[in-house]
Every structure is written in C-alpha cells, then in structure tokens.
Structure 1
Amino acid sequence: MTDVEITELEKKDVFTFRPLRLEDADTLYAWMHQKHIAPFWQLDLPMEPFKEWVESSITAEHKDCYLVDWNGEPAGYLIAYRAADDPVHHYYDHREGDLGMHVLVGPEKYLNKQAGRQLLQSMIQFLFFTYETERIIGEPDIRNRIILPIMKGLGGEVLHRVHLPHKRAALIAGEKQTVEQVRNKRGIHVSFQTKEGKEALHGKNG
C-alpha cells in the first residue's frame, strides 16, 4: 500500500493506493452503475457476473488494479498495464517501457475540475513513483469531457484520436519530465509513504 501526500496552497491531502480486493466489489458495483461511469466502462452488470469480473481483475497478470482512497474515503479506481502487452501499442509510436493507465472517478462529488485534477494528479504521481516508466499512456473516450481536459492540464499531450474496438478514444501521453515541470510550476509538493502491498509489474515498491 502506498500513501501519496499532496500539498497544494497549504492544503494537504492523502491519497492511499492499495491493491484491489474482492471485498471492494460492492464499492465498484455501485460506481459502475452510476450514469457518469456506466456508458464508458460498460460494466453495469448484475452482482454475480460483476464479482467474477472483479476476481479476474485481481488475478490478472497483465495489469495491476488499485482502489484509491482520498483522506480515508473511497474515491477512485486505477488500472496500470504494460502498453506493450495491450493492443493499444499498435495505435501509436510505442516505446519500450510505456505504461498504460485506466482511471475511474467514483463519487459524483469529485466530478469537477479541481477535485478531478487532484485525484488524477495523485494517480499519475503514484504510477511514476511505483513503476519504472518515463511515459504514461491514456486512452479516454472522446466523449469524456472531464478526464481529457484534466490530463492535458497535468502535462499530457494528445497524440491523436483512434478507433479502438470498443470506443473512439483520444490517445494521450504524459512524459515524466513534462508532468514534473507542470507540477513544480504550480508549486505542488508530493511525498510518498509505502506499506505492504502487491508486487507491481515494473515496480520499485510494493
């Protein structure tokens, strides 16, 4: 488990990342049935098949799944995967070591520019801290008018739009150096504290 502490304008927030567990199924189930999530994730299933999906996500070898708490309250879901092992690498000039990410903002109260930016900032910092990567790849649905502008504001660059098998997406890349420059320019301080957790795909920390 890893705590990401972010201080911005004298306000300190702690985001805790821990590997997905089966007991998180109820939380994810509620999120996946919300109107701001269901059209994009298409996982508004009955509970039993949904639990099977959670179990398969936990045991998957090609991705790492995390539940994210914000000051002790469940706030989001994060998937990290090797871009080289995913069909997405066929859609852009892939580099060895690229890390893909899928993100979900859970509670509807975080669906605003500031809260969304804080949550995604923590996710990106966690990924750069945990995995040996210099670039993170995202593929938000082009209909998502919240996530995409936030990613761009955090230092992401839209490479182009792509037609993936399940959606039309904006392929966006975040270079570590650029992301850090944007963060430093805003005066945002980030610190980390690690605890016991799942071994990461390319991770330096559990």
Structure 2
Amino acid sequence: MSDTLNVDCLPLPDGGVLRVSRAGERLTLALDGQPRMQLRLSPAQPGLAVSVLEYDDIDEALWAAGYWLFARHPECQRLLWSGLEAAPESRATGLVVPSSEGLESWRSQFWQQPRPWLRGQTSAGYPQRPVMANGVRFPQRPPKPEGEVYRRYDVRLGGWISLRTLDIEQDLERYHRWQNSPRVAAFWEEEGSLEQHREHLQALAGDPHCLQLIGCFDDDPFGFFDVYWAREDRIGPYYDAGPYDRGIHMLVGEERYRGPHRVASWLPALVHYLFLDDPRTQTLVSEPRWDNERMISHLQRVGFHRQKDFDFPHKRASLMALTRECFFDRCPLC
C-alpha cells in the first residue's frame, strides 16, 4: 500500500508493548511477549485482506491486529478477515461487523474504541438533567477530571502525545510565560502579571462549563488547551449549538514544539480525546480570529470547515466546525 509506515513495535499507554515479527509471508503479533495472532496480508478493494492463521483470545487478538494494521497503514479504511469466527464481544463493540464478504473492521469504528487511549474519569454516561443559567438550557455538566486524560503513541513522530488537566501550582509559571510571549499575546491578548494569571486560572477552575488541559510530547509540556461546552459558552448565541457540542481554544507555548508536523499530532489527539470522552458529542467548534489563517488552515486539515465569519464584542472570528462523522471518516490517527 502506498502510505505504509515501517512499524514493528507499538508501545501501549498501560506500559505494554505490541510487537510484530515476520517469517516469510506470515506475521506474528504478540502482546507483552505473548503471541496473540498469526496472519497473512494481501490487497483488497478497498483496504487489506487479512488471512488469520492462528489466534488466541480472539477479542484481544482482533484489537491488537486492528491497531497495528490501521497504525501501519494510515490510508487503509477497511480490513477484510478470513479464517476466524468473532466472539460476540467483538461484534458488540464494533471491532468486527458482518458483511456479504464475511467479517470486516472499519478504521472509523476502530478509532472510536475508548481503550486504551482514555485515562481516568470521562464524561461518558453522566446522567442527563437539563438546567438553566443566563436564559440558556443545557445538560448539567459532569465533574471535571483530574490528572492524565489521554495518551497515545504517535507512530509518525515516534513518541507519546498526552493530555492532562492543568494544575495551577505546577503550571502557573509556564502559563504565565506562554501568555506573555509576543507571538501568543498577538492572538490571545491575555498578557498579565503572575498574580493576574493565577486569579484567571482559579476562575476557570471554578467554571463547570470549561476544562483546562496541558498537552505533552513525551511528558514534556508544550501547550495549553481550554475546552468548553459550547451551548452555555459565549459562542452559543452565534450558531445552533447541540447540547453536547464542545469548543477548543489552543496555544503552543514552547517554540521547539511548533511546526506543522507537531500540529498534525496534537490537534487530532485533542479532537480524538473530546469525541471519545462523551459519545454524545457530535460537533466540535473553534473560533479563531478571522485573520489567523495559519490556525484556520491547520483546523481545515483535520476536517473542520469554515462556516462563517462573525463579530464577537472583542474580535472578528471565524466559526470552524467539525462533526464526529467527518473526523472518524477521515481519521488521521496512526
């Protein structure tokens, strides 16, 4: 296949490792040193045909094979399986689905599996109860998570991309330095003293409609993301916000982590986290300044489309929107 990545080892967030070895046309997938599946590959239309020769613990084997194949072949949309009978659990979770050609796995469904990327508390399954505030009706929001919320090994970069919640004592100086950077201040306009930034972060921490995240490459912090529920946010009056729509404000503070190849890692990871965190979230939005063409271009590469330009009281902005269907259909993860 034209876009094959040379991958024989995939670290997992729980500390495990998925390895692949070759003997002629036969591939052996092992998790933590234990063989899970032997298979052979050939082209299919569209995707890959997977001939399963041997397997152990079919649900785990299917997940491991799906992860390695979709990560190694980022353009592959479908796997067509032969030589196995899937357990009911595999069908129930969407790892495989029956078709006229047998059993198949779809890239768009695989990457909607929450394991093992999500870490700790999620919003999924939080009971829905409508509340009102400032004339706006929206679901009561769940408690905010703490600590690491997402981790995935990025095959193209050869390292970890992770997200954790902001810790004011740990991250204040870093946030202060980032916001006072002329490059960041040109768009965020939130320069200030250390104490002003402390008060600002404390106010955000007490606001149930938003969540502050720190992005890390190999556990080294590089950026700040303010994630918000759109309906009760300032963006709410400017479009028909769904009850679980979320929005994102983004900044990269560390100069060494700038560049399109880095954005191509952290932006899909942030989007992936938000769609996994609550399956009821169908749309993500962002509202960069209308003339921030670089950020708008990055968003468009992930699948956001520019709905309109509009005027906030403090800036002219572009409304960028990305649906769950569009993201997972294109699914730039590997």
Whether TM exceeds 0.5 here: the answer is yes
Report the Cα distance in structure 1 between the residues aligned to 2:321 and 2:223, rounded to whole angstroms.
21
> What is residue 4 of structure 2 aligned with on the other side?
none
Cα deviation, residue 166, structure 1: 1.4
Q: Does 1:53 align with 2:188?
A: no
Give the aligned residue type for 2:168.
L
Q: Give matches, 1:116-135, under 5 Å.
A: 116-131=263-278, 132-135=280-283
Task: Name the TM-score, length of structure 2 as normaliser.
Answer: 0.53
Alpha-carbon distance between aligned partners in 2 of 1:66 and 1:156, rounded to the nearest angstrom: 21
Quote the residue 2:296 is aligned against. Answer: 148
Deviation at residue 26 of structure 1 after TM alignment: 0.4
Instruction: Specify the alignment match of 1:73 in structure 2.
Output: 220
| Aligned positions, number | 185
Which 5+ residue runs of structure 1 have no aligned equivalent? Answer: 190-206
- Quick one: which amino acid aligns to residue 275 of structure 2? F
8 Å CA contact retained: 1:21, 1:58: no
Q: TM-score when scaled to structure 1?
A: 0.83
Partner of 1:44: helix, strand, or coil?
Answer: coil
Which has the higher relative contact order, 1 or 2, with Cα contacts under 8 A spaced 6 or more apart? 1
Cα 1:66/1:81, change in 2 over 3 Å? same
User: Which residue matches 2:178?
Assistant: 31
Q: Distance in 1 between matches of 2:267 and 2:220?
A: 15
| CA distance 1:2–1:64, change in 2 (3 Å) | same
> Structure 1 13/135 Cα, relative in aligned 2: closer, same or farther at 3 Å?
farther
Say whether residues 1:20 and 2:161 are aligned partners: no
Question: 1:6 deviation in Å?
Answer: 4.3
1:86-125 matches, within 5 Å, as: 86-125=233-272
Paired residues of 1:14 and 1:71 also in contact (CA < 8 A)? yes
Q: Which of 24-33 and 41-50 deviates more? A: 41-50
Q: Which residue of 2 aligns with 1:195?
A: none
Unpaired runs of 5+ residues, structure 2, are 1-147
Higher normalized helix content (fraction of residues)? 1
Give the whole-Å Cα distance in 1 for the aligned partners of 2:243 and 2:295.
Answer: 25
Which one has the largest radius of gyration?
A: 2
CA RMSD of aligned residues (A): 1.6
8 Å contact from structure 2 (residues 310, 318) kept in 1: yes
Query: Which secondary structure does the structure 2 equivalent of 1:5 belong to?
Result: strand
